Amino acid sequence: MSVKQEIHQAINGEKDNKKIDAIIMGYAKQKEMTAICRPMVLQGKQGVGIFIKGGLSKWFCNGIDLLDEVHHLQRIGYKVEV
């Protein structure tokens, strides 16, 4: 069963957004969803890469975009290591 299917099954028709958020956060902690930010150079440009499950997920050279992505990852339950 995929992660999306497991979360969908856990929510199971729940309508209260606070309860849904709590279910997702509990699942994230259970699965230890972690993203790691590391400085890196890509194609000659200095920036920051976000690695999820050991692979490069996204790369940013703009700090505002990076902060926006970190906030988004935290909102959906990821623990972000800087």
Which residue segment(s) compose the domain that 8 sits in?
1-31
Q: 77 and 40 in one domain?
A: yes
Q: 47 and 82 in one domain?
A: yes
What pLDDT is attached to residue 49?
94
Q: Calculate mean pLDDT across residues 58-76.
A: 92
With contact defined as beta carbons under 8 Å apart, do 27 and 11 qualify?
A: no
What region does 8 belong to: left with phi over 0, alpha with psi -120 to 50, or beta? alpha
pTM, 2 dp: 0.60
- Pull the structure tokens for residue 39: 């400085």
Q: Calculate mean pLDDT across residues 23-35.
A: 73
Q: 45 and 15 in one domain?
A: no
Q: 26 and 10 in one domain?
A: yes
Q: 41 and 26 in one domain?
A: no
Residue 28 per-residue DSSP state: H
* pLDDT per residue as tens digits for the range 4-13: 777 777 788 7
Q: 38 and 24 in one domain?
A: no
